Amino acid sequence: MSDIDPNKPLPTITDRKIVAQSRFFRVEQVDLTFANGATRKFERMAGKGHGAVMIVPFIDDDHILLIREYGAGTHKYELGFPKGLIDPGETPFAAANRELKEEAGYGARELTELTQVSMAPTFFSSHMHVVIARDLYPETLLGDEPEPLEVVKWSLDDIDSLLVRDDFTEARSLAALLLVDKQRRSIK
């Protein structure tokens, strides 16, 4: 295993331009020069810099809530955790509580950050705050979902069966679940 050089210089960005744009996405071409003189053109999604949140809601000490929603990318219904973008001027915790109310019909009195994850760092500059929500109370906010989302209560003692489901495949949800399970096991 090699040592990681913390002082390795980042490539120099010599040019940037938007090469494609849709209602939701902007694709940016970035021209780079590396320390060894190599040059490359990369394309990446140009982020807005606010990031996103994913919420792991605990309805009690032994059960979490999942949502089942349509995923246009896979063209099927998927189980996962509530999630969404952080709006301008919003903190990650405020965004987490808002998304939880919009997608699961609950607010949380206690929010703690579990971790932050990057999403395909070769192509995206954004990051996601994974937040644990506890001490839930019923509250609904109108969101932007085209149909009501199904809320599914899941026992933490039955994580193994969740991990092998063909409708629980999103990498961010899998990572959050495994981190929660590892944290839970270290406390017991």
Mean pLDDT of 76-99: 95
Compute the average pLDDT of residues 112-117: 92
Q: Kindly indicate the confidence band of residue 49, based on its pLDDT and cuts at 50, 70 and 90.
A: low
pTM here is 0.84
Higher pLDDT, 47 or 15: 15
Q: Is the pLDDT of residue 7 over 80?
A: yes
> Taking Cα atoms as reference points, which of 141, 153, 180, 140 lies closest to residue 59?
153
Residue 187 is predicted with a pLDDT of: 78
Residue with tokens 């961010």: 172
**Whole-number pLDDT of residue 48:** 64
pLDDT-derived band at 124, boundaries 50, 70, 90: confident
Within its chain, how far is the Cα of 48 from the centroid? 15
* Better-scored residue on pLDDT, 184 or 77: 77
d(CA 167, CA 112): 27
CA distance 34 to 9: 8
3 state SS of 42: strand
104-113 mean pLDDT: 97
Assign 188 a pLDDT band (cuts: 50, 70, 90): low
Q: Decide the pairing of beta strands 39-45 and 76-80.
A: unpaired
Q: Token pair for residue 55?
A: 């919420």
Task: Say how many residues make up the chain.
Answer: 188
Q: Rounded mean pLDDT of the chain?
A: 90
**What architecture is domain 52-187?**
Alpha-Beta Complex (3.90)
For range 59-82, the mean pLDDT: 94
CA distances from 51 to 21, 125, 127, 144, 153 (A): 19, 9, 5, 18, 27
Range scoring the smallest mean pLDDT among 107-116, 147-156, 166-175, 179-188? 179-188
Look at residue 24 in the predicted model and tell me its pLDDT. 73
Distances 168 to 26, 127, 144, 184 between C-alpha atoms, Å = 28, 21, 22, 20
User: Buried (b) or exposed (e) across 102-122, using 16+ Cβ within 10 A?
Assistant: bbbbbbbeebeebeebebeee
- Enter the tokens of residue 50: 């606010």
Candidates 123, 129, 118; CA nearest to 82 is: 129
CB atoms near residue 72 (< 10 Å): 6
Whose tokens are 């929010």? That residue is 111
Spans of all domains in the chain: 12-45, 52-187
